[in-house]
Structures are given as C-alpha cells and as structure tokens.
Structure 1
Amino acid sequence: MKRRTLLASAAMALGLATAGIAEDKTKVGFIYVGPVGDGGWTYEHNQARLAVEEKFGDKVETVFVESVPEGPDAERVMTQMVLEGADLVFTTSFGYMDQTINVAKKFPNVKFEHATGYKTAPNVSVYSARFYEGRAVQGTIAGEMTKSNVVGYIGSYPIPEVIRGINSAYIHAKKVNPDVQFKIVWAYTWFDPAKEADAAKVLIEQGADVILQHTDSTAPQAAAQAAGDVITFGQASDMAEYAPKPRVSSIIDNWAPYYIERTQAVIDGTWESVNTWNGIGKGMVGIGEISDAVPAEVKADALALKESIASGDYHPFTGPLNKQDGTPWLAEGEVADDGTLAGMNFYVEGIEGTIPQ
C-alpha cells in the first residue's frame, strides 16, 4: 500500500509539473482570409507564423485557421480559438476589424493584433505596412517599361489601403511617363484565382501591357504569361516562379519580426496596445529582386527611389499634387500626413473613373 501511495504521489507531482509546463506555453493563433498556399498575402503571414515557431520552440504553440470569410463567421472562429486557449490572436485581414473588437471585449485578458485596420482597444493592437512605398517603385518601373502607355491595376476592395496603392503607383508612373494611363478593374475579392485571371484578361484586352494587382493569388501572373508581352509584379509575396518575366519585381510583406516581437511581449508580460505602420526603411515592406527583363537604367531608377524612401529622404506623397477633380491637395514640397493617408478616399489628378462606394 505504501508503495502505491508513493507511486500515486509521484504521479500526481509529475502531473502537476506537466500541467505547469503546459500552462507556461504561450498559445498564438492566426486567422487567415485565404489559404496558406495562395502564394501571396496569406502565404507570407503563415511564413511569419513558422518564424515564430522557429524562434520560440517549445515555449510557444501556434494554431491557425485558413480561408475564413470576412464577416460574422470570423467572430465564431476567433471565439473558438480563444476558448481553446489562445493567449494572442493575429487577425490578418482588414475585414476582420469589427469582429476582432467584438471578441476582444468578451476576453479582456487575451491580446489581439489586427492587420491593416484602425480600431484599437486596451487588448487590441493594429499593424500594417506602408505598401504604397513599394507601389511607388512599381509605378516607376511600369511607367518606364510600358509600350502601350496603358497600365492595368486589379483592385480588391475600394478601401484606403488599396486606393493609396493605386495613387502612389500612378503618381510615380506619371513622373517618368507623362502619357501613361491607368485602367482599374475591381475584383471585390482578396483571393479568387478565377476572378483575378478574368480581371487581368480584361485589362490586357483593353491594351494594358503592365498589370499591377492588390489581390493575393498568382492567377494574374499566369494570365500575363499566357498573353505574351505583358509584365507583372508579385503581390505580398515574391511570386518568383514567374520571373524573369512576366514578374519583373515584387512587393514582399515581411511580418516575421513584428510577430516575434509581439509574441515576446506577451511572454514577458509587457504587451501594450500599439498602432504600427512601417515600410521599406524598417524592413516590413521588401522589394523583390528586379529581374534582367528590366533595362539597367530603369532598374537603377527604381533602386534609387527605393533607397531614398528607405532613408526617409523622400516620401511618395510629396506635392505638388491635386485631387482628381483638380482641387489642390499638397503644395510644392508638402508631404501628406498619416491621417489623410490612412483614410484616403480619393484619386489623384489624372486617374480616370470613380471609386466605387
């Protein structure tokens, strides 16, 4: 009997120790709008999740749910993730904003990080990248390389993040090519290869020989490749499988340092609600290798622009700039403030068409 008592006590002690270890492990959850294999936006968020696992090892457990639609069901998925023990949840798409706030209210001890939104709470941070800086580089290449003077742009949703990108690309294409025109097709999706391919084909039929996209799949790359003499840019991820042409460069989202930093803050008990908006200079926005399909002088111009943005010597939204209707926006040398950029709901002068409501 004594032996059994000792064994039971040892087992109980071991169980408590094991429970303590499990309790000490930080659980980090990720909600994705697309599949992890999309080759773009969600792929890069998932690469960052894997970097968190590599950095922290047994100290952290990560979980994720992919292809979660923006809307009411996202709230259910977030709630379930928290009920299953998540200490920190990254909700990685703009359309999760209200759902993130709602769930955060119910679980004040859980930390939430929402990508590309603007609503915060004591336990909700927001973070985004200055993608418009990368669009300036792309616009420079597009303006110099187009032969038809028609650049096509596939928009996802008409939200400030996407409108900023269109404006930045256009401003910089126009600087190097006064004759350039932008044609914009709204896909109303972040990830739908069929819709994205159709949008690319429509733009190519309208004369575009350069395609930019703010959608997540590689379908526009494939459509451009099939069309022949059309160039593209990787979106969110390098999409280098289409290099050296049609993909001539890319914007690469590098979330790993941020995810590691914020996970460490939860582990340390130092997490606070913050608003982070970094760009090329801080490494959150990367410019993928510019391929040999780009002439040397064009590449040099693009890289010089990248360096001037990274150093802070140049801001992509520097006046003189007018709004689409011709009203003055920025005077000579004036730089747009972050508040205006964060809520941007207008095209700059020269872009044709209206922003859908």
Structure 2
Amino acid sequence: MDRDSLYIHRRQLIRGLLATSAFGLTSQLWTGCAPTEQASTPGKTSPGTTPTSGSPSATSALTIGFIYVGPKDDFGYNQSHFDGKEAISKLPNVKTVDEASVPETAQVQETMLSMINQNGANVLFPTSFGYFDPHILKVAADNPKVQFFHCGGRYEDGKHPKNIGSYYGYIDEAEYIAGIVAALTSKSGKLGFVAAKPIPQVLRNINSYTLGARSVNPKITTQVIFTGDWSLPVKEAEAASSMIDQGIDVLTCHVDSPKVVIETAEKRKIFCTGYHVNQAKLAPNGYLTGAEWDWGNVYAKYVEQFQAGKSVTDGGIPHLVRGGLKEKFCKVSAYGSAVSAATKKEADTALAKFMDGSMVIYAGEIKDNTGKVVISKEKKLKQIDPELEKMDWLVEGVIGSTKG
C-alpha cells in the first residue's frame, strides 16, 4: 500500500469511528472552581481520590496530544501552546504528539480520535476556543477513559462529560500593566486594539488594558476594531492602518497571530504592545512590552498530577483551573528601549500588587462605554469571580461596540 493509499485508509478509519461512536493542584499555583461555578475556597486544594482505570500514573505511559488551530510558529496563540508542549516533552516518562492548522470543524474530531487510537494518547489538549462545542463534548463522551482539557471553555457540572477540564489564565493582569506602559508612552492619548471576536476573554483583555491605561491617564481612549475571526491577516492590517490614520500611537491586539499588527505598527513608526508571546524581534524600535502566556509551567503542573495518578474524571484535578501572574500562568514581556524609567517604576508598582494579591482590577464603580454602571461602587469582582467570564460589555473609555 503506497503512502497516499495509507493516508486515505487512515482517514476512512477515523471517519468510520466518528460515524459509529454516537487538579487538586497546590493552591499557590492553581485556582479550581467547584462544579456550581462558585470559586473554590482560596488556600484549599481538591481532595485526591483513587485513580480511575484510565488515569496514567508514574509507572504507566503518559501520552499527551496537543492540537492547534494555526501554525506552530505564528508568533501568537498557537506558538505559545507549542512552546508549552515543547517544555513538557523534555520531562521524564512523557510522550507528546501534536498537530497544527486543524480547523474548528469535524476535522478536529478526526484528529482527536487519531491521537487516541493511533498514538495511544490518554490526555488531550485541544487548544482552540471553537474546539469545545460540539467537538470535544462529543469525543469526550465517547472516550470516557481519556482526559480532555480545553483552553478557555467553561465546564458545567451535570451537563458536560466528567472527563473534561477547563484551564485558562488571567492574562488580563498583564494587559493591565501593558495598558499602563502604553498610556504613559502615548503622546496622542489614543490607543488602538485589533480584536478577533467579542467573546468574554477578548472583552476582558480590552477592558483591563483600558483600565490600566486610565489608572494613570483618565482621559486616554482605546479604539477597538473587531475583525470577526481569529486569523484574518488582511483585515488585521486594514484595521491597524485605519486606526493609525486616525491618530492612535500605541497599538495592540487579541488575535491568534499578532505578527501583522505588530509589523504594521513598526512600519508606520508607532509603538505597540504584544500578546501571547514576545514579539520584540518584530518591532525592535516600537515594542514597549506585552502580555505573554506561560503554558510550559501550566502543562508541567498538569503532568505532575497525571503522574501522581490523579484525573479530572475522579475529581483529583479541578474541572476549572485558573491563575494569573502570581500563579505563573502568564507574564509581562521585558520592557523595550522606548520605555522610560518613570514608566517602568509605575508598571512595576502595579505588578507588585498583582503578585501580593492586593490588586483588584474590577472594583466599582465601573461604567461601560454607554454610561451604564456595570459594577456598583460597593462591589469588587476578583479574578476568580465567574461573572467576569460572562463579560459582554466594553468599559468607559473604549471606542467601539461588542456588535463589531
């Protein structure tokens, strides 16, 4: 059988399977949420239980699969997860497999089944937001001995299969600091934000960036343009150029690959802040700082739990895992040469407050950009509050609409 025939045969096999199949981690590093979607008590860990038959242990093979919606070298979201995969692939008794550029369609179901049935994967990290519903939900239900962990999804007890976990980081903390740096560097008082979709995670980054900026300059504005999808390079370039033409002098983004936005800013000789990974090499003159993921640390902590025989299915690992700067889910990029000493000091002061737990970004009173009070004066929403993961508004100071 030649290579092409083998490939077709393999695809047919997986399609047939599709057709017939109808972390109590340490509290210093993880924040789990109880199935009721209320945050678990800080300082406590979920109880360990007897491993299920499908839980890998220190004495059994641990094969972990990673799936990305885009290329591994995109200077963005997919590269950040690939870098995390590379970090754990060096750990003892760990085998990793991965596949890039897998669309958010039934094709990801084929890829998951291939990793399970061909590679023997007992843990999967399908990383893209759109993989969750219906794709992960379907494959997880049909493969109860495999653990599935999705980046950003919201597990619902009694509704979703118990072998699904959700993990995500409070990277908006790093965005808040980037907003401070942007505001103190800007001469026009106008910031720009190229965003993919108005989902809660994206809105939270836009809002935290703006709140950070307005904490040092209450008059500053952030113009936002939604492109409509995670990777639309032409629209991203058009959005960036349009805002630059309108006078913004610091640009940032939340798209899968910030490469186009960062390079456009550098070409037009304005400043920028990055996202996902460090893009300083793309903008040596204008790169100020950025909000980076630290998935290598997160994945290593998961591996520790897997090898201890714990699983999300039996409750040994929380269904919802979250963390911020303090928990090393994310980090702030090194400051660029254009950042002044005074600006660094202001940003470092905010960073210290995140690290000691005293910073609360969403403390009222906060209004949205239509003037409506969305967080009352007496209210404080800490990072673990589930309400923040349902965000559907833009904060005062943002020019734009969630309707695109």
TM over 0.5: yes
Partner AA of 2:140 in structure 1: A
- Say whether residues 1:355 and 2:402 are aligned partners: yes
Does structure 2 conserve the Cα–Cα contact (< 8 Å) formed by 1:309 and 1:316? no
Deviation at 1:267, TM superposition (A): 3.1
Q: Give the alignment partner of residue 81 of structure 1, picking from 101, 104, 115.
A: 115
Does residue 222 of structure 1 match 2:267? no
Deviation track 1:109-164 (CA, whole Å, cap 9, x = no partner) reads: 00011001113531111000101111111111111221122111010111000001
Higher relative CO (Cα under 8 Å, sequence separation at least 6) belongs to: 2
Instruction: Quote the Cα distance in structure 1 between the aligned partners of 2:283 and 2:268.
Output: 15
Residue of structure 2 equivalent to 1:285 = 330
Q: Distance in 2 between matches of 1:305 and 1:160?
A: 23
* Deviation for aligned residue 1:179: 2.5
Q: Are 2:287 and 1:247 equivalent residues in the alignment?
A: yes
How much does 1:243 deviate?
5.1
Corresponding residue number in structure 2 for 1:67: 101
Residues in 2 aligned to 1:38 and 1:244: alpha-carbon distance in whole angstroms: 18
* Aligned residue in 1 for 2:151: 115
What amino acid maps onto 1:209 in structure 2? D
Aligned-partner Cα distance in 2 for 1:198–1:329: 32
**SS of alignment partner, residue 363 of structure 2:** coil
Count of paired positions: 332
Instruction: Say which SS state the counterpart of residue 211 (structure 2) adopts.
Output: helix
Q: 3-state DSSP class of the match of 2:326?
A: coil
- Tell me the C-alpha RMSD between the 2 structures: 1.8
* Residues 1:321 and 2:362 are matched in the alignment: no
Q: Does 1:339 align with 2:389?
A: no
Name the stretch that deviates more: 170-179 or 82-91.
Answer: 170-179
Q: How does 1:1-357 map to 2 (within 5 A)?
A: 24-56=60-92, 59-84=93-118, 85-98=120-133, 99-119=135-155, 121-215=161-255, 216-228=257-269, 230-242=270-282, 244-272=284-312, 273-332=318-377, 334-337=379-382, 338-356=385-403
State the AA in 2 paired with 1:212: T
Deviations 1:232-252 (A, max 9, x none): 112110112135422111111
* Pair 1:178–1:268, CA change in 2 (3 A): closer
Q: Is the 8 A contact 1:323 1:349 kept in 2?
A: yes
Structure 1: give runs of 5+ residues left out of the alignment.
1-22
Measured in 2, the distance between the counterparts of 1:62 and 1:287 equals 28
> How many Å separate the matches in 2 of 1:311 and 1:152?
30
Identity percentage over the alignment? 28
Q: Which runs of 5+ in 2 are unaligned?
A: 1-58, 313-317
Cα drift, residue 198 of structure 1: 2.5
Higher radius of gyration, 1 or 2: 1
Q: Report which of the two has the higher share of helix.
A: 1
Shift of 1:192: 3.7
- Return the alpha-carbon distance in structure 1 between the equivalents of residues 63 and 111 of structure 2: 15
Q: Residue type of the partner of 1:220?
A: V
Q: Is the partner of 1:235 in helix, strand or coil?
A: strand
* CA distance, structure 1, for counterparts of residue 193 and residue 400 of structure 2: 13
Q: 1:288 to 1:333 in 2, by over 3 A?
A: farther
**Equivalents in 2 of 1:164, 1:172: separation in Å?**
12
- TM-score for the superposition, normalised by structure 1: 0.88
Q: Which amino acid aligns with 1:91?
A: P
Moved runs in structure 1, 4+ residues, more than 6 A? Answer: none
| TM-score (structure 2 length as normaliser) | 0.78
